[in-house]
Each structure stands twice: as structure tokens, then as C-alpha cells.
């Protein structure tokens, strides 16, 4: 069989684009759009009636497409001409920042026009065009494609090996015609008798119980020891299997059978945890066998029992034995060998409780306990000594695709990396000495972390620079004194913030920064000629020519480009520091700990003070030019930050 992976380089067509100034909301005269070489990945060659053709467009992180047009041009295996055009609204993306994914469900149009009877072959070219409100953003074609359209999806599954297994263990099987999750399900239908090791439980008959095979590719899949079918208790199963495929459209295809399938279920156990120290919200990985996720629908799950003593660094200890044992579900079960759990805590009336509430050392055992509607299985424990560290706040700088598009407005999209680097320099400097870590890739070592979206336009149309919409507790006026909530999300829509302040959207909105342009907002007393001087050479709305990749870092405009990078990065970084400060409970006043306050900015503005209100923070201070800036936290706010987030 030929390799179905196809890579094709294609060049983005240079097209005219427009950006709106805050003052006039009219298009500018930008005529250049950055040209990129993109790679298209496509991995399918066998198509069933419910298949979804998936095209992955590499290098499209910066492209904001509203639609895609996919064209199939060629001939069928019988020699008939094929010319199919189908449209996809709002193409998907890998996460919020990754490559664009164009998915074409064949049952919407393609299958009917190819008309397999029962099979057909398409040979030809697949063309893809990405578009926005202006026109074509990118286009390319995949030539010499061959797609096999098959109406018959009868499964032929090889032998599922009998043996000793843990609950949720996956057994590899080979076969033919396994279907992808979006196409439907290949089922193993289980019939037989489950005999429990605990003789008081007796036996349980299983009749036509369905286990979904887990797709790997068309010839390989996994049979899971499904807790919803086989249960969680120690037992022996003797029976048989029959295979069936059910497509998403309801079509069913009966497959082959396996006369004998015998399983002995083993005892789950926890072998180790890593790391052996962590702060509130940090991810701890549990390693063992026989782990299962919790399923409300299936009525089964797994708990972890913490049995021992928690000795606090401040002195004293908490007894966690007998009735005081802590019982918690893991946050995520990755597979039957690994589970993840944040260093656990609870928030009650804005007070912290639980294992991670304050620094100390837990000594004792952690035991997995599996349960279902028929009973429990208490697994083997692991002796554990775990240190709870002081709080650490991790902040994810989440750059949205609209951020890249907004840099295009300012003419500096080709130095986006340098702008991001400057933003990170600013926020790290502002929080120097405080136990805060800023990252620009999604954290993996913490399950509880703050996120701030950095995008383009203000969704409200109000031209805000940034907003902390993390209103966690309405009755407390949304002020998070002592940073009780680690997982703040400054972005998206927050209903509590909408109810409290009529401002649902959060994040940083960099398209609004042209408010500081003297030319674009001549009657604005906050505008600065320095904005126009620095960005004028590059910003199309100011008659500038955008930075080209060939002129950085050694072109004749390198010094001007560096100044623009520093200015934009400083203004954005200052805004991030200010909004994250809000999420940490700033501006702080001692009375906030007695009764949650409503003052979110410094009551007495100072020079270069980060938590002053927007009107007290002039452009030059934010941009760190002309002797103003860098802004800092005033002494009261910095003392508060060092108290709640001291570095180890």
C-alpha cells in the first residue's frame, strides 16, 4: 500500500488587506500581505460513507480564516469526470493557537457525487482555499491523489488474546476495516460468565455487552478491559466475542466471532508518585496499574485514599487516619498505568483547606480504591513522604491568532517573535522576586494556573486595552485577596463579571493601542506624537511600510524596528502585568482581609505605578520612553505580593 502521507509546499498569494483605525474605523491603504510557504498534511486513502477528510495546514498559526473551499477535480475509476466543490465554514484549529484543520464530511456532498456502487476510486487533485472577509488568504493543491470509496465496512478482527489483565488494560488486536471515531464504532460484543474471587459475590452473566474497540489504524485497534462491562472486582471471565461495526449514520455491519475469550482480573496497585514535592495546584503523576477514569454514566471510578499525618512547617500536625482519611478522585486518568492529580485543596468561604492549603510534609500511604455498582476493589498502597511547598502562581501567556493579525495592523508582524520576547522580559522584570512564572506554552507541570489571552480587537467594541474578567465570587466584589484562586482565566466570557460589571470579556486587546496615535485620534488628550514617530515608518494607517523579513535584524531600518519592538512589547507587557495584578488581588489594602474591598486601583496615584488606573498611566510610561517607566508596584502592593507568593 502506498504511503498516504502527502506533503506539498505552496506559496501564499500576496493580497491587499485593510486595518481599521480606532478613530475612523475605515480601511487603510495596506497593500502587502506576508507571503508564506505552507505544508499540507493529508493521511487518508480509504473512505467510508461517514468518513471525514481532514487536511492539516502547517504554518497557519497566524492566519485567521473565516471559511475554506475544497475542490476535488479529476476522474473516477470508470473514467468519468469529477468536479466537486464543497465549502467549510470556520475551519478548525489545533487548540487556540495551532495550525488550521479543514475537515470535509463526505456524507454532506462528496459521497453522493462520487456515487460508489458499492466501491469507487477518485484519482485527481484536491485544492484548498482559505478565505476571510477580504478574499483568498491561502491556496494550494494536492495532486496525484487516490481515494478508495468503499460501501462495505464489515469488520474482520483477529484473535483477542486471553490472559491475566488489569481493569482498563488495552489489548492490541489486528484486523480489517476498523473505523475512526468520527466514522462510527467497531464493537466487540461480549457474552459469558464473570466469577468473582470473593465467593460471597457469586457470579454475574454477561449477555451481548458492548465494548468499543479503540482505533489505531485501519488494520490495528485495541480491546480495553472495560470497567463498565467487566466490573472492577477481582474475577475470572469465560465467554466469547462477536464483532460488529456501527457507522455514525446508523448502518450496521456484522463481522466475525471468537469462540473463546478468558480473562483473569488482577489487583490494581499504586507503585510510585512523581515528583515528591509540589505546591498547591502542581501536577503529581501517579504510576501503577489498573487505573480507571470516573464515569458517571457507567457508574464506576477510582478514588485515592491519603492515610497518615500532615506536619505543618509552622508547627503542629493534622491526623489523617481513621475517619480523617482524605479521599479524592484524581484529576485525570491518562491510561491504566498513569493518573494525574493537582496537589489538592478546597476553597470554602474564601479559606483554603486540604493537603495543599499550607506548607508541610505528608507521611503515610496512598491507596487506589476502584468502585462500581457491584462493590469496590481496594488496591495495593504505596508508602509516601510528600512535601507541600509554598504557593507558586504560573501564568500562561496565551497568544491568539488575532494577536498576529493585529501586529499586521501595526506593520510589525514579521518581528512577532521579538515582540513576544520583549513582553516576557517586561512581565518577568515587573514580578522579579515574586514566586510567579510566566510561560508562553501551555503549562504541563501545573494543573491549576492562570491564563491571560493576548489577542487583537476588544470584543465589546469599547477599545479597552485589557480587562481582568475573573469574577470568581460575586458576593465578594470579585477581588481575590490573598490569591485564593490559582486558575484564573483572563479571557473568553465570564458570566459573573458580566452580571457584576457588565464587562464579560477579558484579556489584552492590542488593536486598541492605536488610541495613543496623535494622527489617528487628534482630539484625544492621552494621545502622543511619540506613538506616531515610533510606528509611523511601519504602520500602514500612518503611511508606513510594514517590516519585511529581509530587513531584520541587519537592514537599514534595524534601529527603528528595534524601537518599535521595544515600544509595543513594553506597552503590552505593562498591560499584562496590570491585569495579572488584578487577578492576584491588587491593588491591596489591609482592610481587604477584614471585608473584601471594591478598590481595584491605587487610591493615591504615584509616578510609574503599575496598579494606577488607566488614566494615570500615560503612554510614555507604558512605552518606557522619554525618561518615564518602567512602572513598578508601589511598596504596599509589592509587600503584599512577597507575602502571598514568596520565592523559596
Domains, the chain, with CATH or none:
6-150 (2.60.40), 156-265 (2.60.40), 273-389 (2.60.40), 394-644 (no CATH)
Q: Which residues pair with 41 in a beta bridge?
A: 7, 56
Residue 11 has pLDDT above 50, yes or no: no
Q: How far apart are CA 253 and CA 84, in angstroms?
A: 29
CB 411 within 8 A of CB 539: yes
pLDDT on residue 139: 86
CB 18 within 8 A of CB 28: yes
> Which band of pLDDT confidence, cut at 50, 70 and 90, is reported for residue 635?
very high
Percent pLDDT > 90 in the chain is 77
Q: How far apart are CA 144 and CA 481, in angstroms?
A: 62
CB 609 within 8 A of CB 595: no
pLDDT on residue 37: 61
CB 287 within 8 A of CB 337: yes
> Which band of pLDDT confidence, cut at 50, 70 and 90, is reported for residue 476?
low
pLDDT tens string 37-62: 678 899 999 999 999 999 999 888 87
Closest CA to 505 of 474, 475, 464, 472: 464
Q: How far apart are CA 191 and CA 210, in angstroms?
A: 9
Closest CA to 378 of 235, 229, 227, 268: 268
> Which band of pLDDT confidence, cut at 50, 70 and 90, is reported for residue 231?
very high
| Burial class of residue 350, CB neighbours in 10 A (0-12, 13-18, 19+) | middle
CB 322 within 8 A of CB 305: no
pLDDT tens string 388-426: 999 999 999 999 989 998 999 999 999 999 999 999 999
Q: What is the mean pLDDT of residues 186-205?
A: 95
Q: What is the mean pLDDT of residues 93-106?
A: 91
Q: Please give the biggest Cα pair distance in the chain.
A: 86
**DSSP per-residue string spanning 247-302:** ETTS-EEEEEEEEEEEEEEPPPEEEEEE-SEEETTBEEEEEEE-----BTTTTBEE
- Beta strands at 507-509 and 450-455: parallel, antiparallel or unpaired: parallel
pLDDT on residue 9: 30
pLDDT on residue 496: 63
> Which band of pLDDT confidence, cut at 50, 70 and 90, is reported for residue 501?
low
Q: What is the mean pLDDT of residues 233-254?
A: 97
pLDDT on residue 606: 86
CB 512 within 8 A of CB 458: yes
User: Grid coordinates standing for 337?
Assistant: 498505568
Within 10 A of 242 (CB to CB), how many other CB atoms are there? 17
pLDDT on residue 8: 32
Q: Taking all residues of the chain, what is their mean pLDDT, rounded to a whole number?
A: 90
Q: How far apart are CA 575 and CA 580, in angstroms?
A: 9
Q: What is the mean pLDDT of residues 489-503?
A: 69
pLDDT on residue 461: 81
Cα–Cα distances (Å) from 300 to 88, 229, 292, 528, in that order, read 39, 10, 8, 63
More confident residue, 94 or 20: 94
Residue 329 has pLDDT above 80, yes or no: yes
Cβ contacts of 321 within 8 Å, gap of 6 or more: 307, 308, 309, 364
pTM for this one?
0.81
pLDDT on residue 32: 46
CA geometry: angle at 543 spanning 540 and 548, to 5°?
Answer: 55
Residue 530 has pLDDT above 90, yes or no: yes
pLDDT on residue 494: 64
H-helix or E-strand spanning residue 323: none
User: Grid coordinates standing for 185?
Assistant: 464504532
Q: What is the mean pLDDT of residues 261-281?
A: 96
Cβ contacts of 243 within 8 Å, gap of 6 or more: 155, 156, 157, 186, 187, 188, 189, 255, 256, 257, 258
| Cis previous bond, 463, omega within 30 | no
pLDDT tens string 510-523: 999 999 999 999 99
Closest CA to 43 of 33, 54, 52, 59: 54
Q: Worst-scoring range by mean pLDDT, 334-343, 355-364, 501-510? A: 501-510
Q: What is the mean pLDDT of residues 32-36?
A: 46
Q: Any idea of the CA torsion for 128, 132, 138, 143, to the nearest 10 degrees?
A: 10
pLDDT on residue 441: 93
Q: What is the mean pLDDT of residues 234-239?
A: 97
pLDDT on residue 127: 93
More confident residue, 296 or 556: 556
Amino acid at each position: 500500500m502506498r504511503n498516504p502521507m502527502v506533503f506539498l509546499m505552496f506559496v501564499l498569494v500576496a493580497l491587499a488587506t485593510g486595518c481599521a483605525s480606532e478613530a475612523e474605523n475605515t480601511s487603510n491603504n495596506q497593500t502587502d500581505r506576508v507571503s508564506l510557504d505552507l505544508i499540507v498534511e493529508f493521511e487518508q486513502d480509504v473512505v467510508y460513507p461517514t468518513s471525514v477528510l481532514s487536511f492539516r495546514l502547517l504554518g497557519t498559526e497566524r492566519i485567521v480564516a473565516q471559511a475554506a473551499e475544497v475542490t476535488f477535480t479529476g476522474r473516477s475509476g470508470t473514467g468519468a469526470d469529477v468536479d466537486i466543490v464543497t465549502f467549510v465554514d470556520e475551519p478548525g484549529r489545533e487548540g487556540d493557537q495551532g495550525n488550521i484543520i479543514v475537515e470535509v464530511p463526505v456524507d454532506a456532498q462528496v459521497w453522493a457525487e462520487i456515487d460508489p456502487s458499492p466501491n469507487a476510486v477518485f484519482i485527481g487533485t484536491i485544492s484548498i482555499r482559505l478565505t476571510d472577509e477580504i478574499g483568498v488568504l491561502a491556496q494550494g493543491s494536492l495532486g496525484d491523489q487516490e481515494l478508495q470509496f468503499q460501501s462495505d465496512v464489515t469488520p474482520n478482527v483477529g484473535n483477542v488474546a486471553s490472559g491475566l489483565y488489569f481493569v482498563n488494560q488495552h489489548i492490541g488486536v489486528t484486523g480489517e476495516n476498523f473505523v475512526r471515531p468520527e466514522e462510527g464504532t467497531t464493537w466487540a460484543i461480549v457474552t459469558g460468565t464473570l466469577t468473582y474471587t470473593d465467593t460471597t459475590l457469586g457470579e454475574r452473566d454477561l449477555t451481548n455487552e458492548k465494548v468499543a474497540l479503540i482505533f489505531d489504524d485501519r488494520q490495528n485497534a485495541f480491546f480495553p478491559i472495560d470497567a463498565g462491562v467487566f466490573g472492577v472486582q477481582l474475577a475470572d471471565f469465560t465467554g466469547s466475542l462477536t464483532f460488529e461495526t456501527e457507522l455514525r449514520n446508523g448502518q450496521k455491519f456484522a463481522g466475525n466471532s471468537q469462540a473463546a475469550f478468558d480473562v483473569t482480573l488482577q489487583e490494581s496497585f499504586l507503585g510510585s508518585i512523581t515528583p515528591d514535592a509540589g505546591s498547591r495546584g502542581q501536577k503529581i503523576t501517579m504510576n501503577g496499574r489498573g487505573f480507571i477514569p470516573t464515569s458517571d454514566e457507567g457508574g464506576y471510578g477510582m478514588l485515592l485514599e491519603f492515610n497518615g499525618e500532615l506536619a505543618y512547617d509552622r508547627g503542629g500536625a493534622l491526623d489523617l487516619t481513621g475517619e480523617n482519611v482524605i479521599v479524592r478522585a484524581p484529576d485525570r486518568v491518562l491510561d491504566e498505568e498513569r493518573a494525574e492529580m493537582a496537589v489538592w485543596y478546597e476553597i470554602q468561604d474564601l479559606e483554603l483547606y486540604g493537603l495543599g492549603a499550607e506548607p508541610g510534609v505528608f507521611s503515610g500511604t496512598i491507596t487506589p480504591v476502584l468502585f462500581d455498582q457491584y462493590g469496590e476493589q481496594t488496591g495495593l498502597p504505596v508508602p509516601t513522604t510528600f512535601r507541600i511547598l509554598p504557593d507558586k502562581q504560573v501564568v500562561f501567556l496565551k497568544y491568539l491568532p488575532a494577536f498576529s493579525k493585529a501586529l499586521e495592523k501595526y506593520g510589525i508582524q514579521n518581528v512577532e517573535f521579538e515582540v513576544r520576547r520583549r513582553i516576557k522580559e517586561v512581565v518577568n522584570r515587573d514580578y522579579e522576586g515574586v514566586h510567579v512564572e510566566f510561560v508562553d506554552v501551555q503549562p504541563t507541570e501545573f494543573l491549576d494556573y492562570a491564563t491571560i489571552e493576548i489577542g487583537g480587537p476588544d470584543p465589546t467594541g469599547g477599545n479597552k486595552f485589557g480587562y481582568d474578567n475573573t469574577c470568581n465570587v460575586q458576593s465578594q466584589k470579585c477581588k481575590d485577596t490573598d490569591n485564593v484562586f490559582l486558575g484564573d482565566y483572563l479571557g473568553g466570557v465570564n458570566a459573573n463579571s458580566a452580571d457584576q460589571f457588565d464587562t464579560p470579556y477579558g484579556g489584552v486587546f492590542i488593536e486598541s493601542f492605536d488610541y495613543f496615535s496623535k494622527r489617528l485620534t487628534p482630539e484625544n488628550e492621552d494621545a502622543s506624537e511619540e506613538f506616531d514617530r515610533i510606528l509611523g515608518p511601519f504602520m500602514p494607517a500612518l503611511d508606513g511600510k510594514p517590516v519585511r523579513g529581509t530587513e531584520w535584524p541587519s537592514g537599514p531600518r534595524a534601529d527603528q524596528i528595534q524601537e518599535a519592538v521595544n515600544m509595543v512589547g513594553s506597552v503590552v507587557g505593562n498591560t499584562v502585568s496590570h491585569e495579572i495584578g488584578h487577578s492576584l488581588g491588587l491593588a491591596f489594602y489591609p482592610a481587604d482581609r477584614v471585608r473584601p474591598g471594591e478598590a481595584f486601583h491605587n487610591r493615591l496615584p504615584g509616578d510609574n505605578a503599575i496598579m494606577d488606573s488607566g488614566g494615570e498611566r500615560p503612554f510614555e510610561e507604558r512605552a518606557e520612553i522619554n525618561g518615564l517607566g518602567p512602572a513598578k508596584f508601589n511598596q504596599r502592593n509589592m509587600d503584599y505580593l512577597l507575602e502571598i507568593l514568596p520565592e523559596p
